[in-house]
Amino acid sequence: MSEHQTSANKMGAPHAGPDGEREPTRRDFLFLTTGMAGAVGVAAVAWPFIDQMRPDASTLALASIEVDVSSLQPGMSLTAKWRGKPIFIRNRTPKEIEEANAVALADLKDPVARNANLPADAQASDLDRSAGQGKENWIVMIGSCTHLGCVPLGQAGDFGGWFCPCHGSHYDTAGRIRKGPAPQNLAVPTFSFVSDTVIKIG
């Protein structure tokens, strides 16, 4: 923009170009660039304020625990704490495994295994819910009802598995939802047997 313009132009008064259209002024240019810088600035400043709400690295780092299960005889369970949530570890009796195997997959409300150690589309058979071939007696699950997060009670409910007292969800001996408002089977976390008596979760 030339220095020889009239004061009216410097004040940003619209003035017609040769073809009748308004020529952009220095103020138009400043308005656009300042506005864009402002929008980017606001977004850049807003992000730390939003991001601080998310779980921080120390929370995320509580990624794995090791649990000694040598004391669990068939029919016994223990509850460990992982990521602030209870983990149910149960050494199931042959009768419980039999009961779970007797259920037709078509009768299940949630036919997916929900097992983090298997492909996402694995079927909710008893084998795929348990610790796998040779360790079918072990079941490891996040003890947080898939409805609204209450802790189900063990060896209770209509199917002898778990029962959530909050809103009445019944799970069977393989932790599969059978009755009530919960939409999914109890989740099986990533875990592995470090030795015959120690389970690593996460």
- In this structure, what DSSP letter does residue 106 have? G
- The backbone torsions φ and ψ at residue 66, rounded to the nearest 5 degrees and listed phi first, read -115, 135
- At 180 the three-state DSSP class reads coil
Cα 1 vs. chain centroid, distance in angstroms? 57
- 6: which strand partners? none
- Single out the residue of 111, 154, 160, 168 in contact with other proteins (rule: CB under 8 A): 168
Parallel, antiparallel or unpaired: strands 65-68 and 191-193: unpaired
Per CB under 8 A, which region of 23-31, 35-43, 91-99, 162-170 contacts other proteins? 162-170
Contact between 176 and other proteins by CB under 8 A: the answer reads no
Closest approach, Cβ 171 to other proteins, in A, equals: 14
Give the number of residues in contact with other proteins, rule: CB under 8 A: 26
Measured CA to CA, the distance from residue 38 to residue 14 in angstroms comes to 25
Contact between 148 and other proteins by CB under 8 A: the answer reads yes
79 versus 195: smaller Cβ distance to other proteins? 79
Instruction: Report the alpha-carbon angle 74-76-79, nearest 5.
Output: 140
- Single out the residue of 75, 83, 112, 160 in contact with other proteins (rule: CB under 8 A): 83
Measured CA to CA, the distance from residue 118 to residue 66 in angstroms comes to 20
Q: What is the x/- site pattern for other proteins, positions 28-57, by CB under 8 A?
A: -------------------------xxxx-
Chain residues in the site for other proteins (CB under 8 A): 53-56, 59, 79, 81, 83-86, 143-144, 147-151, 164-168, 181-183
